[in-house]
Amino acid sequence: MRISLFNIGNKDKQYLYSIITVVFVSALCFLFSEFMGYRVAAFILLLTVSLLAVTFDILPVLLAAALSAFIWDYFFIPPRFTIHVDTTEDTILLGMYFLIAMINGVLTYKIRQIEKSVRLKEERANSVKLYNTILNSLSHELRTPIAAIIGAADNLQTNINLTRESKEQLIAEISKASLRLNQQVENLLNISRLESGHIKPKNDWCDIVELIYEVTTRVEENNPDRKIHINIHPDIPLCNLDKGMLEQVIYNLLNNAAIHTEPGCRIDILAACHTDLLEITIEDNGKGVVGINMDEVFEKFSRSKSPRHQSTGLGLSIVKGFTEALGGSVRLTRTRNIGARFIVSIPVKTSLLKVSEI
């Protein structure tokens, strides 16, 4: 997106800015006219019109071109302070200057219009891709937990002969499917927030130890056959950051490891703070990243090609977006056992005071 120094939304202001700019540059050239010839002044004015053409609409630019041609003729081409031109050479130069300034303004405007058209097509294509992906997600990722909830609830309502153990199992299935559904909806909402570009961290003092244990417990409850090993540096301080964003980052990485590794694989989360840099590492000893280039794993809609591990492909994209919004970075490497290791590094303000003392 091009950012202008002027408010280019109002065309009346564009006319005013064009006139002011040309007059200002002409005045500077006139002050130094003793040290440079009138032909140099023409090049400077032509450059000014070219810069205006990059920013403004076509009509203000044409006005600037015409005004600059008149000023160059009246104040610079000898004899000065008259529109009369003595030599045929200067007459040709004036005519060429006017034509070049006009053509330059028109062509630059046309190029901007083409760039705008291409950009709109790309944005429209990306919107269609996002729309189709969300539809695919709604048709598969969301339908599966919804179907489980409806089936279990219908079974509870219609089957009055269920044992207590069966009822508890159906209720557990509803709870698990509800959590999965909630996670998918959160991912869709979070990617929408990132796409809008209006996401800003709300920093506050956060106990990293408490946060990691809370998130780990949630992931383990959703994946009862998994046990996550926690290793946190004992001297880790309180950190000033957006707790909600960091919580989502850690949850998505742990959940990703739980989903894409076999039940017998080990999952570890390590946390330490080096001066003012918080570093959280989540690694496993599984088969690593399968079917996706490691450089593209954080791109939206990147999915594993394994039929057992299908997803929307938004979780790691949200991890990258939230981490960068916190001013940090995330990278993926391989462990010694070929597994995956995600390292999140976030610059933070720290404090060794207790939460109650903040």
- Can you list the positions of beta strands (E) in 64-169? none
Least confident of 38-42, 107-111, 302-306: 302-306
For 8, 99, 109, the CA distances from 53, given in Å and listed in that order, are 12, 15, 6
Buried b / exposed e over 182-219, threshold 16 CB at 10 Å, is ebbeebbebbeebeeeebeeeeebbbbeebbeebbebb
pLDDT in tens, 136-172: 656 666 777 888 899 888 888 888 788 888 888 888 8
Confidence category of residue 27, pLDDT binned at 50, 70, 90: very high
pLDDT in tens, 316-342: 888 888 898 899 999 998 877 678 899
pTM for the structure as a whole: 0.56
pLDDT at 239 over 80: yes
